[in-house]
């Protein structure tokens, strides 16, 4: 394993002019600046891993496997993709975090259906 440092604060990020990489700027536990540069592919891998990391940490912290982080939804948008079949569902929080999902027409119907009586409270229906 390479160098390890404890991050105390996220400062900023920069995107390469050509969009091929990003640099995260942080402060370590001693207050010294540190940065991590990664290619876009690695950033996408990190983004896909972060929700599981947060879920696992929160569940361990609370000693409860049902605990999850829930973000209030500020707005959503549904668009039709260029293939004219896929719907793009974008969800956004008040602080600007957003994520987009590609949905089939059938998945849109399932989301629109009232499924409140299909499962007990606290159960994730997918």
> What pLDDT does 126 receive?
39
Give the pLDDT mean for 3-9.
89
Average pLDDT, rounded, for the chain: 90
Domain borders along the chain are 7-62, 73-112
Q: What is the pLDDT of residues 87-117, one digit of tens each?
A: 999 999 999 999 999 999 999 888 888 665 5
Percent of residues, the chain, with pLDDT higher than 70: 90
pTM of the predicted protein model? 0.71
CB 20 within 8 A of CB 39: yes
Q: Name residues whose C-beta falls within 8 Å of residue 79's C-beta, 6 or more positions apart in sequence.
A: 87, 88, 90
């Amino acid at each position: 394993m390479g160098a390890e440092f404890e991050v105390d604060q996220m400062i900023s990020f920069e995107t390469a002019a050509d969009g091929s990489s990003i640099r995260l700027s942080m402060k370590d536990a001693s207050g010294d600046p540190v940065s991590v540069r990664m290619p876009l592919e690695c950033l996408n891998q990190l983004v896909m891993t972060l929700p599981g990391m947060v879920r696992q940490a929160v569940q361990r912290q609370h000693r409860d496997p049902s605990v999850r982080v829930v973000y209030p939804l500020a707005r959503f948008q549904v668009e039709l993709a260029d293939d004219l079949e896929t719907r793009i569902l974008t969800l956004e929080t008040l602080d600007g975090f957003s994520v987009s999902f590609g949905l089939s027409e059938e998945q849109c119907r399932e989301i629109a259906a009232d499924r409140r009586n299909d499962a007990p409270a606290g159960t994730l229906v997918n």
